[in-house]
C-alpha cells in the first residue's frame, strides 16, 4: 500500500507541474497575442499618420505650385496679354523633388502650343523670374528691397512699357523698393527716381540724377 501511496503522490506532483507549465504557456500565449495586437494597432496608427503627412505635403505642394502659376501668369498677362501662361508639375527624379515648367499658349484653332522655358524666348523668362523673385523675397521675410541688373534685358520694345507698369504695380502691391539698372529709356521715364551715367571728356563716370 505504501508503494501505491508514493506512486500516487508522484503522479500528483507531476500533474501539478504539468498544470503549472500549461498555465505558464497559456499566460505567455495571452501576452504574445496582446503584444501582437499592440503591434498591429501601432502599425495601423503609423500607416494612418504617414498617409496624413503625405496628403498634407501633397496639399501644400499643390497650393505652392498653383501660387507660382498664379503669380507668373498675372505677370505674363500684364506684359504679353496673348493667352500665354505657365504650368507647373511636381515629380520625383533620382529620389529628389523636382518641378517641371512649361509655357502654354492658346492658338486660334483651339489648340495649345507647349514649350519648355528654353524654347520660348528669354523675354518671357525675364518676366516670370522677376515676378517670382519679388514674391520670394517678400515670403521669406527678407528686406523689402530688390536690386536687379537688366531684369528685362531680352524684352522687345513692345513689351517694355507694360513691363514697366508691371514693375510699379508689384512694387506698390508688395510694398517693396526696386532698384534696377537698364538701358531701356522707358523704364527710366516711369521710375520714381532715376540716375544715369555718362563719361565726361576725361573718361570719368558722372552720375546725373533725374527726379
Listed range (48-52, 77-81, 180-184) with the worst mean pLDDT: 48-52
Dump pLDDT digits (tens) for 170-180.
888 888 888 88
- Contacts of residue 200, Cβ cutoff 8 Å, sequence gap at least 6: 206
The pLDDT of residue 51 is 81
Paired sense of beta strands 177-181 and 145-149, if any = parallel
pLDDT tens digits along 70-128? 888 889 898 888 788 888 888 777 777 778 888 888 887 777 888 877 666 678 888 88
What pLDDT is stored for residue 110 in this prediction? 75
Number of helices (H), then strands (E), belonging to the chain: the values are 4, 7
Q: What are φ and ψ of residue 100, in 5° steps? A: -100, 135
Give me the mean pLDDT over the 28-55 stretch: 82
Q: For residues 188 and 15, what is the distance between their CA atoms, to the nearest angstrom?
A: 105
Confidence (pLDDT) at 210 = 62
* pLDDT of res. 120: 62
Q: What angle do CA 83, 170, 120 make, to 5 degrees?
A: 35
Per the CB < 8 A criterion, the answer to whether 101 and 116 are in contact is yes
pLDDT digits (tens, 9 = 90+) for 120-176: 667 888 888 888 888 888 777 777 788 888 888 888 888 898 998 888 888 888 888
Asked whether the predicted pLDDT for residue 49 surpasses 70, the reply is yes
Mean pLDDT, residues 10-20 taken together = 71
Residue pair 114/84 in contact by the 8 Å Cβ criterion = no
What's the pTM value of the predicted model, to 2 decimals? 0.66
Question: 51 or 208, which is more confident?
Answer: 51
The rounded percent of the chain whose pLDDT value lies above 70 is 87
Alpha helices in 93-149 (DSSP H): 122-139
Domain 121-186 bears CATH identifier 3.20.20.140: no
pLDDT band at 7 (very low <50, low <70, confident <90, very high): low
Tell me the average pLDDT across 5-25: 71
> What grid cell was written down for 205?
563716370
Amino acid at each position: 500500500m505504501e508503494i501505491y501511496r508514493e506512486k500516487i503522490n508522484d503522479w500528483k506532483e507531476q500533474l501539478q507541474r504539468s498544470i503549472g507549465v500549461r498555465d505558464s504557456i497559456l499566460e505567455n500565449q495571452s501576452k504574445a497575442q496582446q503584444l501582437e495586437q499592440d503591434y498591429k494597432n501601432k502599425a495601423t496608427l503609423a500607416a494612418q499618420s504617414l498617409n496624413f503627412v503625405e496628403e498634407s505635403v501633397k496639399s501644400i505642394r499643390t497650393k505652392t505650385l498653383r501660387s507660382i502659376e498664379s503669380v507668373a501668369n498675372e505677370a505674363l498677362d500684364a506684359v504679353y496679354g496673348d493667352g500665354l501662361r505657365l504650368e507647373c508639375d511636381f515629380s520625383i527624379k533620382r529620389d529628389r523633388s523636382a518641378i517641371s515648367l512649361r509655357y502654354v499658349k492658346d492658338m486660334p484653332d483651339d489648340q495649345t502650343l507647349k514649350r519648355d522655358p528654353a524654347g520660348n524666348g528669354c523675354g518671357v523668362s525675364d518676366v516670370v523670374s522677376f515676378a517670382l523673385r519679388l514674391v520670394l523675397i517678400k515670403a521669406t521675410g527678407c528686406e523689402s528691397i530688390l536690386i536687379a541688373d537688366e531684369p528685362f534685358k531680352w524684352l522687345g520694345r513692345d513689351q517694355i512699357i507694360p513691363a514697366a507698369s508691371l514693375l510699379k504695380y508689384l512694387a506698390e502691391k508688395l510694398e517693396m523698393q526696386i532698384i534696377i539698372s537698364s538701358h531701356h529709356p522707358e523704364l527710366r521715364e516711369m521710375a520714381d527716381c532715376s540716375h544715369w551715367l555718362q563719361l565726361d571728356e576725361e573718361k570719368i563716370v558722372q552720375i546725373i540724377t533725374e527726379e
